Structures are given as C-alpha cells and as structure tokens.
Chain A
Amino acid sequence: MATAAVETGERETYLNREYGIKSWLLTVDHKRIALLYLMSITLFFFIGGFFALLIRLELLTPAGDLVQADTYNKLFTMHGQVMVFFFLIPAVPAVLGNFLIPIMIGAKDLAFPRINLLSWYLYIIGGVLMLYTILNGGVDTGWTFYTPLSTEFLNTHVITAGLAIFVAGFSSILTGLNFVVTTHRMRAPGMTWSRLPLFVWAHYATSIIQLLGTPVLAITLVLVVCERLFHLGIFNPTLGGDPLLFQHLFWFYSHPAVYIMILPGMGIVSEIVCCFSRKRIFGYQAMALAVLGIAVVGFLVWAHHMFVAGISLYAAMIFSLLSYFVAVPSAIKVFNWTSTMYKGSITYQTPMLYAFGFIGLFTMGGLTGLFLASLGVDVHVTDTYFVVAHFHYIMVGGMVMAYLGGMHFWWPKISGKMYPEGWGRLAALLVFVGFNLTFFPQFILGYLGMPRRYWDYSHSPEFQILNVLSTAGATVLAVGYLLPMIYFLWSMRYGKPAPANPWNAAGLEWMIPSPPPTFNFDLEPVVTWEAYNYDQIKEEVPVAQ
C-alpha cells in the first residue's frame, strides 16, 4: 500500500496516511472522525458562545436596549439548543471518547466504524438544520420547548429546530451504541473490566443514558412536531391534553442528559488527577460503580424540574427524595479524587489546573443542586438565575473545564505537537476566574428573585450591579476560551513535536506513537497491568518548559 506518508519518507500516522478532502469525509478511522467532530463542535461552541455574549451584553443595563424582546428570546433559546445538543452532549464522547476509547482498550477501531461516520453525518445534518433555523430567523421556544407555547403560540421555526435536535439525537444514540459494543467486544486480551481506565467506564455509563434516554426525547419531539402540524391535542390542554406530560417526557431525557455531559468529564478528571499525582486512583471500584450508579439513579429524578409545575404533591416528594440518592455517588467521586492526591507527587501542568478547577466548580454545582432538590427552597429559586448559575456550574464549570483539561492532556497525542505550557496555564486561570465572575453573582441574583429568561429588568434596577459583574466575567471567559483555540492551531504548525508519552502517563494510548498510526497498534496488545499503574512508572512528569 503506497500511502502519502511513505512517499515523503515520514513515519505513517493517521494524519498523513492520506491527504485530500475525500480521505477525511469518507474516513472510517475513529481518530479522523474524532477530528471531524472536533471541528464541528468547535464551530457550534463559538456560535453558542456568541449568543451568550449578546445575552450578557443585553443584561448589562436593566432596560431592553440592545436587541428586541423577540430577538432576546431567540438568543437564549438558540444558545441553549446549540450548546446543549450540538456542543455539550457530543463534545467529550464524540471527540475524546471517539479518539481514545479504542486505543485505551487496545482495539484498532470502534466496533462499527461506518456507523461512527454515519453518526457524524447525522450530527452534521442536524447541525445544518439548526443553522438553517438560525439563519432563517431562529426559534424562541426556550431550549425546553414547553407546550402549549411551542406548539400553539409561536410562529418561529419550531419544526426545523425540533427536527435538528431529533436528528442530532440519533447521532448521539449511534455514538453510544458504538461505545457499548466496543467496550464489550473489542477489548484486547487481558484488558478486563477491572483494568479499564475510568475514562472508558465513564463513557460506558454515558452511553447507557444516550441509548435509553435519547429515544424518549426523539419521540417527544415527533409529538411536538405533530402537534404543531395537526393540532392533535396531546400536549394542548384546550384540546384535552396535558402540558405536564410533555414536561415528564422531556425531562425523562433532559435530566439524565446532564449526566451525559458531566460523566465523560469525570472520566477525564480521573485520568488527569492520577497522572499528575503519579498515583493509582483512590478506590477504583467505587469510582467505576459511582458512574454506573449516577447513570441509573439519574433516571429516577427527572420531575425535580417540575416541583412548581403542578405535579402531585406526593410525586414531588418521591422525586425530591430520589434526587438526593444521586448526590451520593457524586460525593464519592469528589472525595476520591481529593484522596488520590494524598501523598502523591503533584505537578501543576495545564491539564491538572483544569482538573483542580473542575473539582472546585463541580463541588459547588453539586452542592447548589442539593438546594434545588430541597422542595421548600426549590419553589423559591427554580426558574430564577439560581438555576441558571447552578447548571452552568455543572455544565461549564464541570464539563467544559474537563473538556479543556482533556484537550490539553491528549492534544500531544492527537496532534503530535506540544502546546505552549505558559499560555495553557494562563488560559486555565482566565477560564476559572472568568467563570466564577460570570456565574457566582447569578446565585445571588437568583435568590433575590430575578427570573431567568428576562430581557428587561427595568422594573428591578437593584439587579443591575450583579448583572454587570456577570457580564464582565463573561468577557474574561470569552478570552479564556479563545486562547486555547489560537494556540492549539498555532501548535499544529509551530509546536514542538510531542513524544509518545509527554506526561509519562499510564495507559495504552501513551504506549503508541504521537500521533498514532492508522490502525493504532501494529500488533494486538496484551494487557498485564492494572489501570493507573504509576507504581511501575519510574519517571515523573517532565518539567514544563
């Protein structure tokens, strides 16, 4: 096989094996598909981020003076839809999971490479539908699509937005399907379940949610579209339907969807904390069980989004109680990461800084979640900025921090180049500071009673100072997010070549060259060691330049 790389005399990698647009768009190599995903989710991240900045700018002053009310409603709707369905949910699984899972378990590829490519195309079809929606005037249902507002009262592009999410949902399902089968069927000899990196465990748990939750969202969106087209009445109270049924079905997916976002992040943090503490994870078994526990119990709590929606008093109590059950495995994870650092040999490279940030922000996000699970307090703070702050602590403070940490940790493996460490640390710091400045004031705003999705708060000017702080933080955050993109791109051309194992980390992915060859392993590896065998790795993390 004469490949492009061989002709130029370089070592053949997945990047230089073939060139040309076709070799990318028709690839079935999980690593190339991961990069396709990386490019597309980055695009959507910046689209969603742009909407967020406009929202924050509008809220700088109490009056609605930057955009019109309808425009504002579209901005927060599309910010939510783009970020949730086109960034947060696919980001870690489809980019890092796709790239790393086969390598981590010693496989040449995912079980179904063509389905993997199909799932990217579905994502793109969904994404194009979403872009079509945005460019044609947008949609203003709120990302939650609450009926009967979305079905009977709005005349924006609800149907295309619904279809976009429907199609993207199937992309997510196929990714999950591939991961589950791959984890079961493609492990190398010796790679037992108890030797799997926690990153793989986390994706396995995530896949369960994707597989069993997403279809319910899909059918719910089908019903919303049918309602809009034919006015059947299933969610319309004036035709005998129950709008709360929509909320039940929607949150049955959309609450566990939060765990789709955060569990892979937890997997990343486990890898990073172990590597930069030079230690085996504290309580491997509990960590693996905890992600599974979160995935299962996470399905039992959805109606805590509906405590004031008009559900039965008794159902509310059950869901409140169950919500606390899901907090226990989350608490275990935080304590175990902390304990992993105990008596370690810790260095503060960029990925570790993100991991520190994740632990802190996830702790705060999780603890404020307990406020929301508590019925009496939830009545006051639900649908206010308290909720907005809480879920941004989990999704941005948790998931995005972990995603960036992971991107820095594995960037040398993915690209074969080192990023500039100093800039990396600066960006991590900016993200952390900017994030807290943006979202901490929103907790206070929420308890003060500022409802979410308000375009104009001129009736309550007392909310302004906190909003100004939040907007100031958002600009810092924006710089923090732009920096990595710039220096990652820079490093692709100017970065130092990365060695196979720049961090002296444990795990199969570090035993193959950077960037990996097309089929990952020339020979099928046989695993004879436990995960995070840092006791067998004599070298420390090389000192940063």
Chain B
Amino acid sequence: MPNSPVAMANHEAHDNPALLHHFATEQQQKDAASLGMWVFLATEIMFFGGMFCAYLVYRYWYFGDFGAGSQSLSVILGGTNTAVLICSSLTVALAVRAAQLGQQKVIVTCLILTMILGCVFLGIKGVEYHDKFVEHHVPGASFHFPGHIPAHPDVPINQQHAQIFFSLYFIMTGLHALHMIVGVGLFAYITYYALHKRYGPHYYTPVEIAGLYWHFVDIIWIYLFPLLYLIDRHK
C-alpha cells in the first residue's frame, strides 16, 4: 500500500461467546445495541406521529363529536390499564436492576410479572373492545352512536365524525396493543434465557433494550389515555 501507511491497532482475538466478531469490545457492542434501540424508538415516535397528526386534525374539526366519543369510553378501565402499564414498567425497571446486581431469581420473577401485567392490560383492552363491539361503536356498516354532543345537549352527534373518532381510537389502541403483544413475546424469549442464567452484571443488554421498548410502549399509552379517554369529560 504505497499511498499512506495504515497503522494497525492489534486487538487480542477474543473468545467471549457473547461478543460478536465485528465488535472490538463488549462496551462497543452494548452501546451499539442500546443506540440501535433508541434510534428504533425514534422511528416509532414518527410511526405513531402520523396517527397523532390525523387525531389532531379531526379533534380540531370535530371537537364535540370527539368529546361524545370519548365519554363513551370507560375511564375506570382505561385508568386501570394505565396503572397496570405503569406497574409493568416498574417491574421491567426492576428486572434490569436485578440483572445489574446479578439476582437471577429476581430477574425471572420481574420478567414474569411484566408479562402477566402485559396480559392483564391486553385482557382489559379486550373487554373494552368487546363492549364497543356490543354497543355497535365499531366503525363499519353497523356503526351506530346515538346521543348528543356533551357541550350542546340539543345537537345530535354526527355519525360520520363519531365514526372517525372511533376509527382513530381503534387504530391507535390497536397498534399500541400490537406493540404490547410484540413486547410480551420479547420478554418470553428473554425469560427463557434468564432461566438459563444468561444475564448478569456483565451482560444484560437484551433485558435492557427490551425494557427500553416496553417503557416506550408505556409512554405511548400515557399519551393515548388522556387524548382518547379524557376529552371534554367535565361536561
């Protein structure tokens, strides 16, 4: 190589099975994984962002009908689900902490608790969907949403505008639930390895990045709850 001498740094060949061949150090590998998840979460923000944009436009146009739609949702169930998700975020955070401390049993317990809470969330969500289905609030041919808008007891609800509210409700919460299902799947995978004591203070990247994902899903719900359930509630 005549152009310019390339100085070469010689790294000792490593034989750590957790370290992939193309990384120089464990720290580099861990940083790459964590950054990768953060960048992925940024794309997720924009993925939900398109929905938030549609939501914002129609909420601005059809505020009354959105209020009426919102009031037909159960704050008790929605609020409970918010609490369930917050608890699951705590258990995930504790699972990461347990991994950092090398407490094998605690990792597994926290991960299982997280999955249970995730399933509870999905179960409650299912009950809500079922209620909506029974009440004919699911957009489509049989959509029917009688009543009046909250601020104007003499103005009937516009069926089309209410249908847009429920469309957004189902798509946004549906996408969120899909993310939850993926999350539960991820944790099932991680729990399997946790049972084999794969994670400890030196290597817990999968627990950590799956945790980041789970917290993100929690944050989305933290916004979805007031935006969907709490419009014009005082009326």
* A touches B (Cβ under 8 A): yes
Task: Establish whether residues B54 and A234, one from each chain, have CB atoms under 8 Å apart when the complex forms.
Answer: yes
Least Cβ–Cβ distance between A145 and chain B, in angstroms:
14
Q: Would you call B167 and A234 a contact (CB within 8 A)?
A: yes
Cβ of B16 under 8 Å from chain A: no
B residues in contact with A109, CB < 8 Å: 21-22
The residue that B24 contacts in the complex, of A180, A524, A526, with Cβ under 8 A, is: A524
Complex: how many Å from CA A204 to CA B40? Answer: 15
Please tell me if B47 contacts chain A, counting CB pairs below 8 Å: yes
B28 in contact with A185 (CB, 8 Å): yes
Cross-chain contact A249 with B42 (CB below 8 angstroms): no
- B76 an interface residue at 8 Å Cβ cutoff? no
Contact bitstring A176-193, B, C-beta under 8 A = 1, else 0: 011011001110110000
B49: contacting residue among A108, A184, A215, A519, CB under 8 A: A215
**A526 touches which of B6, B46, B57 (Cβ 8 Å):** B6
Contact (Cβ within 8 A) A232 B1: no
Among the listed B4, B10, B62, B167, which residue makes an inter-chain contact with A226, where contact means beta carbons less than 8 Å apart?
B167
Q: Chain A residue with minimal CB distance to B168?
A: A234
Q: Please, what's the 1-or-0 string for B153-184, where 1 marks a CB less than 8 Å from any CB in chain A?
A: 00000101101100110010001000000000
Taken together as a complex, chains A and B put the C-alpha atoms of A184 and B28 apart, in Å, by 10
A213's partner among B46, B164, B171 (CB-CB below 8 A) is B46
Q: Which of A238-246, A435-443, A476-484 contacts B (4 or more CB under 8 A)?
A: A238-246
Given contacts A240-B158, A240-B161, A248-B53, contact A529 B4 (CB under 8 A): yes
Q: Which residues of A contact B175 (CB under 8 A)?
A: 222
Do residues B7 and A222 form an inter-chain contact, with CB atoms below 8 A? no
Count residues of B near A (Cβ-Cβ below 8 Å).
Answer: 47
Binding site for B on A (CB under 8 A): 107-113, 115, 173, 177-178, 180-181, 184-186, 188-189, 211-216, 218-220, 222-223, 226, 230-234, 239-242, 245, 248-249, 252, 500-501, 504, 506, 508, 510-511, 519, 521-526, 528-529, 533, 536-537, 539
Is the pair A186, B163 in contact by a Cβ cutoff of 8 Å? no
**Cβ-closest chain A residue relative to B27:** A185
- CA A248 – CA B57 in complex, angstroms? 11
CB atoms of A212 and B46 under 8 A apart: yes
CB-CB < 8 A to B164: which residues of A?
A: 232-234, 239-241
Determine how close the nearest CB of chain A comes to the CB of B149; give it in whole angstroms. Answer: 14
- Interface window among B30-38, B77-85, B194-202, B214-222: B30-38
- Closest beta carbon of chain B to A117's beta carbon, Å: 13
CB <8 Å contact, A173 and B43:
yes
B31 touches A185 (CB 8 A): yes
Chain A residue nearest to B28 in the complex (CB): A185
Q: Does B17 contact A (CB under 8 A)?
A: no
What is the chain A residue whose CB lies nearest that of B20?
A113
In the complex with contacts A111-B36, A185-B35, A240-B158, A226-B171 CB distance below 8 A: yes
Bound together, the chains give a CA A508 to CA B5 distance in angstroms of 11
Tell me whether B160 and A240 are in contact (CB under 8 A): yes
> Complex formed: what's the CA distance from A52 to B203 in Å?
53
Let me know if B22 and A108 touch, CB within 8 A. Answer: yes
**Other-chain residue from A107, A219, A501 in contact with B50 (beta carbon distance below 8 A):** A219
**B10 touching A523 by the CB < 8 A rule?**
yes
